[in-house]
Chains A and B, each alone.
Chain A
């Protein structure tokens, strides 16, 4: 029970909340603004995360440039996905998006020499022998911890530094997303959610608007991937399974599809779910081994999704009129 009151636990929860919050912001833009059902969002995270791991470890790139390229590649994956499949109707696009993400994951899984395959980033061959990519950013994270140590002692962990780095970005992106949804650009997308023909008849290139939405969302997915890679310092293909996209969807429905601020609470709830299933030791959790807890986590997320969709599809904060069940 003590774990519950440990600040370290809650710091971890916040770190995860920030990362997955940014992740679901991407989905929120794609679905909430553009009406696009993307179930392959995890692919963007995988692309940016692995770009960093491979470029820094194997090719000795600078972390910052690798991170930038990672986000760019995530955006490009989004562009590729959109250019090829966005003309499909909603449900077919959703399935195609899963296929895309799975193809990415399979490639990562099977290209051992580059990505380390099943063993993850630790197995990436490195000229200097160390399969670590966080050296440069760790300098910053450590600097923050060191400044905080005199004030708060042992709680000045790397996790706390991560929180202090990620959350300002999270808030910033929430702000950007809010602003985005007040523009004339998003007005066109709101219209397309109801009818494609009207905006088209007024000269709007509906396809291009949607593609832009997909790409912007993919950028957020890529940024989430960078932070994820930073937080956990090592990657493996199982970190990017299909289900991860649904972490984002759960947060999104919980928040209410068009509510941006609700994402904060929903993201923290998710972080708690994740952290609790991973770290809390009280009964009955103590009965479960680590892989079993992973299953419990999955189960709970599935349960939350089902209950939300059946009982309260507008989420905690959405208005009945803006229900996701359209």
Chain B
């Protein structure tokens, strides 16, 4: 039982992080038809900037997180202006977008390494303190992450649901032609999409760094496929779906370690559970948990 609680709790925490990262990826795909292969590196970037500000410069942690979110937004927007806009104007096809996104990812990580160094880092937050909960050991950092991450998720969900720009984004994602002729400011929708995904990427990176305890610059990249799995599971094209899919995937990967599943998946195979989920969903239920097909490329 304590195993179950442990895994369930871990699953929620990990799921929140998946959710936050997945929303950004999902929005980029629905609005811009872009599969963001650099998403993982934006997480790494957020974690490292926060580290630099809060540990090296000893600034306030929250302040550091906010700055890293702004940096994420800034870099995303920069790339849009310099790169993505041009490609869209030239009607770049799927392969071109894939390759450029990968190229960006390939460039981003070395830059992070060049600027922030190659060592493993950790935040100045006590990672050893744990709480006891029905026999399960819950680290304090995970509690913090869970609280703040779920608050973030709620904020995101509300934003998409209620904010004017959030509704515009959904409308545009659903039917770009109709949306642009019905007065939706497409430029603003695109801007919002990049800013949101940039900010959320950084945020997810900080959470992930906290959860992992220590991290290096491979951190985000290794999670990329898991994020894709969350997006697909939650129904491609649906932002709420990405949130739900993320949480669900987190639970799936963590709970798969329970011994009732063929003795339990060993913990270093958890990513494989996520990859397998990705493939299985694509094969057997490509409409995801919400069961519809977003319009295709």
Contact = CB atoms under 8 A, between A and B. Distances in A.
B and A form one assembly:
yes
Contacts of B83: 306, 310
Given A91-B35, A95-B278, A295-B109, A309 B103 contact: yes
A6 B93 CA distance: 42
Given A106-B269, A296-B110, A302-B107, A91 B275 contact: no
Given A302-B103, A302-B108, 16 more contacts: A84-B283, A85-B279, A95-B225, A95-B228, A99-B225, A99-B229, A99-B278, A102-B225, A102-B271, A107-B272, A246-B102, A292-B118, A298-B106, A298-B109, A310-B87, A325-B96
B113 interface: yes
B275 A99 contact: yes
A104 to B, nearest CB: 10
A96 B114 CA distance: 31
A310 B99 contact: no
Contacts of A100: 279
B271 A106 contact: yes
Interface string B6-19: 00000000000000
A306 B98 contact: no
The interface centre, meaning the residue of B271, B276, B278 with most chain A CB atoms within 10 A of its CB, is: B278
Contacts of B276: 99, 103
Given A92-B282, A96-B282, A305 B103 contact: yes
A292 B96 CA distance: 28
A270 interface: no
22 contacts: A37-B94, A84-B279, A88-B282, A89-B296, A92-B282, A98-B225, A107-B272, A109-B268, A246-B99, A253-B99, A292-B118, A299-B106, A299-B107, A301-B103, A301-B106, A302-B103, A302-B107, A302-B110, A305-B106, A306-B107, A309-B96, A309-B103
Interface size range on B against A: 35 or more
Nearest to B105: A302
A110 B268 contact: yes
A306 B269 contact: no
B225 A309 contact: no
A302 to B, nearest CB: 3
Interface in A107-140: 107, 109-110
Contacts of A246: 99, 102, 106
Contacts of B296: 89
Interface in B88-138: 90-96, 98-100, 102-111, 113-114, 118
Contacts of A10: none
Nearest to A257: B95
B181 interface: no
B103 A90 contact: no
B33 to A, nearest CB: 9
Contacts of A253: 99
Contacts of A313: 96
A317 interface: no
B263 interface: no
B286 interface: yes
Nearest to A252: B99
A295 B105 CA distance: 12
Main secondary structure of the interface of B (DSSP, over half): helix
B266 interface: yes
Given A95-B228, A302-B106, A102 B275 contact: yes
Contact of B107 (A88, A102, A303): A303
A207 to B, nearest CB: 15
B94 A90 contact: yes
A94 interface: yes
Contacts of A85: 279, 282-283
Interface residues of A, number: 44
Contacts of B98: 37, 39, 91, 94
Contacts of A89: 296-297
B259 interface: no
Nearest to B277: A99
B86 interface: yes
Contacts of B229: 99
A96 B118 CA distance: 30
Given A88-B282, A106-B272, A309-B87, A295 B99 contact: no
A65 B51 CA distance: 52
B45 to A, nearest CB: 15
Nearest to B236: A92
Interface string A127-167: 00000000000000000000000000000000000000000
Contacts of B102: 246, 249, 302, 305
A324 interface: yes
Given A246-B102, A305-B102, A309-B103, A91 B94 contact: yes
A326 interface: yes
Contacts of A309: 87, 92, 96, 99-100, 103
A203 interface: no
B238 to A, nearest CB: 16
- Which 6 A-B residue pairings sit nearest by Cβ, starting from the closest? A302-B106, A305-B103, A306-B103, A295-B110, A299-B110, A302-B107
A76 interface: no
B272 to A, nearest CB: 5
A188 B296 CA distance: 25
Given A89-B296, A299-B106, A309-B100, A37 B95 contact: yes
